[in-house]
Amino acid sequence: MTEDDLFTRQSPEFLKAEELRRQIAHHDRLYYDQAKPEITDREYDALYRELVELERAYPELILSDSPTQKVGGRPQGAFAQVRHLVPMQSLDNTYSEEEITEFVDRLHRLLPDAEIPMTIEPKVDGVAIALLYEKGRLTRAATRGDGTTGDEVTRNIRTIAVIPSLLSGDFPDVLEVRGEVYLPKEAFQRINAERDEQGLPVFANPRNTAAGSLKQLDPNSVAERGLSAVFYGFGAFEASEALPATQKEFFEALKTWGLPTNPQIWTASSASEVMAAIRELGAIRHDFPFETDGAVIKVDKIAQHARLGSTSKAPRWAIAYKYEPEQARTRLHDITIQVGRSGVLTPVAELEPVFVAGSTVARATLHNEEEIVRKDLRIGDWVLVEKAGDVIPAVVAVLTAERDGSERPFVMPTHCPVCGAVVTRTEGEVAVRCGNPRCAAQVRRRIEYFASRNAMDIAGLGEAVVSQLAEADLLHDVSDLYALKAEQLLPLERMGEKSVENLLAAIAASKVQPLWRLLAALGIPHVGVTAARTLAGAFGTLDRLAAASPEELQSVEEVGEIMATAIHAWFRDAEVLALIEKLREAGLNFGERDPQDAVPAADGKLRGTTWVLTGTLSISREEAAEMIRLQGGKVSGSVSAKTTYLLAGEEAGSKLEKARKLGVTVLDEAAFRQLLL
């Protein structure tokens, strides 16, 4: 190293650049590798922009491994590594309208006298993915990784219902299509509610949850998350006919091939039209099923992409405009406690009602005591509120500068606020629990969960009705549901004769629900819907499952030591055994009427067939699926060449069109029922 080199490496500019690179690398690892970011996108972008400006001012500081010269997110070791046929770049982004104008002006400088139409589409805040289709068949799926090499996640991608295993229509011989895997906001809300209930740390946002889901080693766990996807670009493209001429034509081709695309695309030919589209998108972005953190502006003519080229990191023909996070300032009036079905005490912020991201927010979960301490949150504070995933209200910052001394620290109660029982905390856990299983709050939550759609699916038995029944002293555990009489229900508020008749019919119908639903509904530790199906299939009846040893439980695929121990212990609890006997006396199905849960019917009328369900039926799709499984058939989430039948209800969508193109037999509900006779 020369004396000049030594001077440069000791200069404030070099040291500052090194520190920025270190910070960015640290946050890249948290974001891409662990899906646990410590800072907001805005704060990360500020660090990145500072490094860009520093390297622009002092080009001698640019190193080949600088984050400005490569795509973030190195591949992970738990998955096989695959090389993209064409490198996957990321996009430059901006929060500035002026920089959008500069982007459009730069396009016209690079392509003087050319017409440059542009498209504007929602920027889905998900996980970048590349799917390789050969002869129309999905052969590989990979994450972006470092842009050149990514993690091979094909098995997990195949669990996503909207992603076809086989393309439809006239498709290229080789197509490497790019898009985003995302977690729908509704699913994000459900997952976090379940984790809160179990005393587990909640996920920060849908993007992190989607990233973590794709890195699950068990595809069944991925399927349970309910991921979805949209596609918008391509890498490799080999076909006898020409590549689509424009982005708009490519979007139409994606739809023809059966791949989901963004719900709305705008077009523009000037910077002012681009900004008008961005504002229009911003006004409706909360209505999309995915989290949208910005807009992507692209040159529409694909031939112009090659002429404009790219840097080592990003294309020159596209840019992302990012919206500022929607936050609102409000007052924290109090912190109350909500008791879940497992006894977990969850602190809840009671806020001065404030409008944010499309709706009025008056309450926000604070998750646990440690979260309150970490944020130094006090009753009476002024706070900033936003919605995680545009869905779940969250207190994101405390405005400590506005304190006047009247604010009070929050103290976690030592006794349950509902039943007065002493609360406990297991060493190593953040959750504080009420240890009284007869606590009225726990009982209500357990009954609500028992009746929920993913459990016994008892229509009409929601939170309000359960509360009324509990307050009328009619429910003490889930078995009491099956003793309810019309004369007990009719005096209750908003309980007319028809409502009572429907509710009692729904409760009676739940007695013949398949075993897996009962297992999911009972709240057995670590047993969700997927595990419930697995256990029902392995043991066949509730009694055989209850009698199983930890070793027998562990012999079931996907059941580990912790899960086996928890299930075994649960079935030896005296109160659990008493509840099971009450449910037996009530006539619930313990598996004896569940041939499809053990072994598919050998002589079933649908044996060897594969079904896909779409549209609105007179019964729930889950009920129709159970009818199919009962007769030996299989149910899939997406139409492919292997599909035998498509059961199409009212307002059937793209699956119906794809089934017709593939020559799949389409049945309406009447024909389906006739087939079962």
Q: What are phi and psi of 578, to 5 degrees?
A: -65, -40
**The pair of three-digit structure tokens given for residue 129, joined into one six-digit string:** 């993915």
Is residue 636 within a helix (H) or strand (E), and if so which, with residue range? strand 634-636
For the chain, how big is the Rg over CA atoms in Å?
28
Q: What is the C-alpha end-to-end distance of the chain, expressed in Å? A: 86
**The pair of three-digit structure tokens given for residue 190, joined into one six-digit string:** 């459900």
Cβ atoms of 474 and 488 within 8 Å: the answer is yes
Q: Return d(Cα 557, Cα 196) in angstroms, integer.
A: 27
Q: Return d(Cα 262, Cα 124) in angstroms, integer.
A: 9
From residue 233, alpha-carbon distances to 236, 274, 323 in Å are 10, 20, 22
The amino acid present at 560, given as its one-letter code, is: G
Q: Return d(Cα 675, Cα 261) in angstroms, integer.
A: 35
From residue 110, alpha-carbon distances to 91, 188, 296, 299, 340 in Å are 18, 43, 20, 12, 60
**622: how many CB neighbours lie within 10 A of its CB?**
16
Residues with Cβ within 8 Å of residue 668, at least 6 apart in sequence:
647, 648, 649
The alpha carbon of residue 429 and the mean position of all alpha carbons in its chain are separated, in whole angstroms, by 25
Cβ atoms of 300 and 248 within 8 Å: the answer is yes
3-state helix, strand, coil in the chain (%, to 5): 40, 20, 40
Is residue 207 within a helix (H) or strand (E), and if so which, with residue range? helix 206-214
Q: Which of 16, 123, 215, 661 is catalytic?
A: 123
| Concatenated DSSP letters of 435-471 | --TT-HHHHHHHHHHHHSTTTT--TT--HHHHHHHHH
HEC sequence for 29-98: HHHHHCCCCCCCHHHHHHHHHHHHHHHHHCHHHCCCCCHHHCCCCCCCCCCCEEECCCCCCCCCEECCHH
**The pair of three-digit structure tokens given for residue 575, joined into one six-digit string:** 């109160």
Q: Return d(Cα 68, Cα 83) in angstroms, integer.
A: 21
**The pair of three-digit structure tokens given for residue 523, joined into one six-digit string:** 């709240």
The alpha carbon of residue 133 and the mean position of all alpha carbons in its chain are separated, in whole angstroms, by 25
The DSSP bridge pattern shows strands 433-434 and 423-424 to be antiparallel
HEC sequence for 252-319: HHHHHHCCCCCCCCEEECCHHHHHHHHHHHHHHHHHCCCCEEEEEEEECEHHHHHHHCECCCCECCEE
From residue 364, alpha-carbon distances to 39, 329, 429 in Å are 20, 13, 22
**The pair of three-digit structure tokens given for residue 79, joined into one six-digit string:** 């998955």
Q: Return d(Cα 62, Cα 66) in angstroms, integer.
A: 7
Cβ atoms of 333 and 349 within 8 Å: the answer is no
Q: Is there a catalytic annotation at residue 123?
A: yes
Alpha carbons within 13 angstroms on the beta-carbon side of residue 665 total 9
Is residue 489 within a helix (H) or strand (E), and if so which, with residue range? helix 486-489
Q: Which residues are catalytic?
A: 123
